[in-house]
Amino acid sequence: MRGADPPAARGAGVNSSIKLVLATRNAGKIAELRRILADASITAEILGLEEFPEIGDVAETGLTFAENALLKAGAVAEQSGLPAIADDSGLCVDALNGMPGIFSARWAGRHGDDRANLELLLAQVSDVPEEHRGAHFACAAALALPSGEQRIIEGTLNGVIIDAPRGANGFGYDPIFVPEGESRTAAELSAQEKNAISHRGRAFRALAPVIAELLG
C-alpha cells in the first residue's frame, strides 16, 4: 500500500459526500454497484465515466484480470482525482487451460463480438467429454485512491460448458454456461438470480467492506 488517504477520506464516514468513480459507461453495472453498496449501508455517490468525457479508454495490457482492473482503476483515480473502482472479468475453461480468460471479449478476433466468440469456443470444446467441461467465470474488482493506494478483490462462479446455447437473457458466454448447482444456463436466469450469484456481484460485495475501511 502506498501514500496517505486523500483528504475526503480522512476522518469521514462513507456517505453521500464521498464520490466514487466506476470505470465503466455501462449503466447496468453502475446500478448494480449502487445496490450492493446500499445493501452494505454505504451511501457513497457512484459516478460513471459518462460524467468524465475527458477520460479515454485505458489499455488493458495486463496479463491477469487483477492487473487489468488495477490499471483501469489507477488511471481513472489519477485522472479524476477521486477514488475509482474498476473490474475485469472473463470465462476460464478447464479444457482450454483457463482460456479465453483475459481475451474473453475478443476471443474470435474482434472485441465484443459475442456470437463469434461463443461459436468459436463451442467449436474448440466440441470433442471434449461432458465430465471435462468444467469452467468458471472470474472477476477482479479493484479500488484505487488518488494517493496511489490500491486494493484488489476477486470473485468466481463455477460451472460447466454445454453443447449449444440456451436462453435469451445475459450476454457473452452466458447461453452456454450452466452455474454449479443449476440446471439452467446463466442466460436462462433472471437478472436478479444472476446478480445474486455472479462473479462480478461476488467481487463487488467483497469489495464493499474494503471501501468502508479505506474511505470510512
Residue ranges at the known binding site? 24-29, 88-89, 171-174, 194, 199-200
> For residue 48, which amino acid is it?
G
C-alpha cell at 57: 479508454
Q: 162: which DSSP letter? A: -
Burial class (CB within 10 angstroms; exposed 0-12, middle 13-18, buried 19+) of 36: buried
19-22 and 45-48 strand pairing: parallel
Query: Does the annotation mark 127 as catalytic?
Result: no
Collapsing DSSP to helix, strand or coil, 190 comes out as coil
Name the binding residues for substrate: 24-29, 89, 171-174, 194, 199-200
- Those residues whose C-beta lies under 8 Å from the C-beta of residue 24, and which sit 6 or more positions away, are 30, 48, 49, 86, 87
Binding-site residue numbers for Mg(2+) are: 88
The answer, yes or no, to whether the previous bond of 100 is cis (omega within 30 of 0) is yes
Cell numbers for 75 = 488511471
Among candidate residues 5, 39, 57, 88, the one labeled active-site is 88
Q: Which residues have C-beta within 8 Å of that of residue 121, sequence separation ≥ 6?
A: 91, 93, 96, 100, 107, 161, 173, 176
Question: Catalytic residues, which ones?
Answer: 88
